[in-house]
Structure formats: C-alpha cells, structure tokens
Amino acid sequence: MKSIKGPALFLAQFAGDAAPFNSWQSITAWAADCGYKGVQVPSWDARLFDLDKAATSRAYCDEFKGVAAEARIDVTELSTHLQGQLVAVHPAYDTAFDGFAAPSVRGNPKARAEWAVDQLKKALTASQHLGLSAHVTFSGALAWPYVYPWPQRPAGLVEEAFDELARRWTPILDHAEDCGIDLCYEIHPGEDLHDGISFEMFLDRVKGHKRANMLYDPSHYVLQHLDYLDHIDIYHDRIKMFHVKDAELNPTGRQGVYGGFQPWVNRAGRFRSPGDGQVDFGGIFSKLTQYGFDGWAVVEWECCLKHPEDGAREGAAFVEAHIIRVTEKAFDDFADAGTDRAANRKMLGLQG
C-alpha cells in the first residue's frame, strides 16, 4: 500500500484578473497559504501558463516549477478539459463550445478539432517536460444528445459515435505513450465517457490502450445515483487521478436527476464543498489506499452556496484529515508466535 499525496488544488475555478489569482507566482503563494502542497494547472489559462512555451522549452518548464517550489508547491498535473471537449463536438453544441477555441478556428468545426488535437499533444509533451506522470482531459461528445432520446436511437448510432471517438483519440493516446503520460478522462455527464460502461465501450475500441485511464470524481457519480465505491473496486487499475469534490442528490416529488432546468442552487442534485455533501470520503480514501493509489488528492472547488476562498481553505484541511498514512506492520504482530514450516505442518496435523 501507498499513501495518497496531497492536499492539492485545481486552479481553474480560482484564476482571475485580480491579485492573488492573476499570476503564477502569486496564486501558488496563496495556495500554499491555504495549506496546499500541490496545484493542478489549467493549460488554457495564459495568466498562469504558456502551453506553447512549455511544449518546446524544458527551460521554461524548469522555471515554471521553480516558481512553484519557492512557495513549497508541486505541480501535480496539467489539465486540458476545454481543449479535450473540442476533440469531438456534436453540431448541437457548436455555438456553445466555440468560445473554448482559439479565435482563428472558431466557426470551423474541422479546424477547431485539429487545433484541439494539437493542444492535447502539446500538453502531453509539456507534461513530460515538467516530469509529470498523468494528464487530465474531457473526451468530448458525439452521442450525448441521444443519452435519453425520443424518438428512440436508430440501430448503430451509438456504436458509430464511439468508433469515431476512438479514431480521433487513438493518435493522442499514442502520443501519450511516447511521452510516458497516463491520459486520464474525467468521467463526466455531458461527455460520451460519463460512466463505467461508456468508458468500457471506448476502451474496447482503443484496444485497451494502456494510456487510456480515468480521473475519479465521486461527485459526478452521486448525481447519477451510481455506486461510487463499487466503481473503485471495478476500475482501480485505471484510476490514475482523483478529484475531491462533493455533491448531494435530494430528489423530491417535483424533480430528480435531471433538475427541471433549474439553476444549481435549486436543483435536486448539486455540487458542494468537500464535507458539505453526501460523498463518503472516508470510504473513498480507504479504498484508494487499499488499492495502492499514490497520486494526488486534488480539491476541485465547485459549490452553489459557499464562497470559493472559504471552500479552498476548508478543502485543504479536509483532505489532510482524510489522507491515510499507511501502516508498515499488522496490528496483531505482537501476537506472532514465531512458527516455521515444521510447526505449521504440525498445527495442520501433517506430521511425518
């Protein structure tokens, strides 16, 4: 067994135009002051990170890590959630997602997808330059509009979507292999990879690619009413990253999983700061530790009620309290009788 590393913080929800959130130096110092030991970096946010430089210059990456080290902060992973979303976009979402792309490719789905693939490859190369082992992204979605359809889906529609999704991601996964980086899909409603079965469908089509892995975030499973502890038992070999995010699902006679088109604060299912929702983090940290997960526990703050800075400070302490320092001995070692094979055979009645 190994101890989980942490606490760490995903910076996407905190980066901004005002200090201390507007520069790499100041935001890492702030994270350290909150009690964090590491940060996960949104690769698209130029206020914090230059992806093009990181993909071409090891010196830039060394300098980037050095600034964080001055605050006693590690870089845990890079994120390409926004770019990964653009690898596969159903036309229904073209307008909504266009703003994630560089201005030069907006309004051109083919060019936008090519740009997204290039971004993923650059981020994987940058991860290698930074000495990281894992990278997080979204899968994108071609089939999601048909997740609960009327009229029914025509035969072969989902299969065709997943065949295409695998075709687009295979070259990226191969580049991840070249870089020695595990590519971790955040399993997330809105993405074609939104639960265990859909991940398996994808994994089958990429021929079990060893770099196709998961970011485990229990909040998305609570909102689907999925057994998030059993999920660890099933997929622990593929879980290479972990977001500490809480959620609650309180269905009523008026609404349930789908939320009735309500704002977050009024939905039956909503995200909460760590410790304020329904997630059994004691069980999660125990299971991940049992299976030898030694990656980072990364707080992703998303809460419809609590101020983000309060959530960040509380989240660091919450993770710190849940990390299990693994034991090096069994609790009943004191009762070891010091037997050998001959004594064991005697105890079993196997003398002679």
d(CA 332, CA 280): 28
Q: Are 106 and 98 in contact (CB under 8 A)?
A: yes
Rounded average pLDDT over 171-185: 98
Max Cα-Cα span within the chain: 83
d(CA 337, CA 76): 45
Burial of 154 from C-beta contacts in 10 A (0-12 / 13-18 / 19+): exposed
Rounded average pLDDT over 99-120: 98
Q: What is the pLDDT of residue 72?
A: 98
Measured over the CA atoms of residue 74, residue 77, residue 81 and residue 87, the dihedral's sign is positive
Measured over the CA atoms of residue 204, residue 111, residue 117 and residue 27, the dihedral's sign is negative
For the stretch 10-60, pLDDT in tens is 999 999 999 999 999 999 999 999 999 999 999 999 999 999 999 999 999
For the stretch 72-93, pLDDT in tens is 999 999 999 999 999 999 999 9
Q: At residue 104, does pLDDT exceed 70?
A: yes
Break the chain into its structural domains and give their ranges. Answer: 5-347
User: Helix 109-129 vs helix 58-70: angle between axes, to the nearest 10 degrees?
Assistant: 70
Whole-angstrom distance between the N-terminal and C-terminal Cα of the chain?
39
Q: At residue 346, does pLDDT exceed 90?
A: no
Which alpha helices (H) appear in the chain, and where do they start and end?
A: 24-34, 51-56, 58-70, 81-85, 94-98, 109-129, 157-179, 196-205, 218-222, 228-235, 281-290, 308-322, 341-347
For the stretch 181-237, pLDDT in tens is 999 999 999 999 999 999 999 999 999 999 999 999 999 999 999 999 999 999 999
Rounded average pLDDT over 169-187: 98
d(CA 113, CA 128): 23
For the stretch 229-262, pLDDT in tens is 999 999 999 999 999 999 999 999 999 999 999 9
Residue closest to 247 by CA, chosen among 324, 290, 305, 298: 305
Domain 5-347, what architecture? Alpha-Beta Barrel (3.20)
Q: What is the pLDDT of residue 352?
A: 61
262 compared with 339, residue with greater pLDDT: 262
Q: What is the pLDDT of residue 334?
A: 65
Q: What is the pLDDT of residue 273?
A: 97
Residue 99, beta-bridge partner list = none
Q: Are β-strands 38-42 and 296-299 bridged in parallel, bridged antiparallel, or unpaired? A: unpaired
Say which residues have a Cβ less than 8 Å from residue 82's Cβ, sequence separation at least 6: 42, 44, 100, 138
Q: What is the pLDDT of residue 335?
A: 62
d(CA 73, CA 205): 38
Tokens of 296: 């980072």
Measured over the CA atoms of residue 116, residue 235, residue 222 and residue 15, the dihedral's sign is negative
d(CA 9, CA 20): 15
Tokens of 49: 């990170």
> Which element (helix H / strand E) includes 139?
none
Residue closest to 49 by CA, chosen among 11, 18, 8: 11
Total length of the chain: 352
Residue 41, beta-bridge partner list = 78
Q: Are 324 and 286 in contact (CB under 8 A)?
A: yes
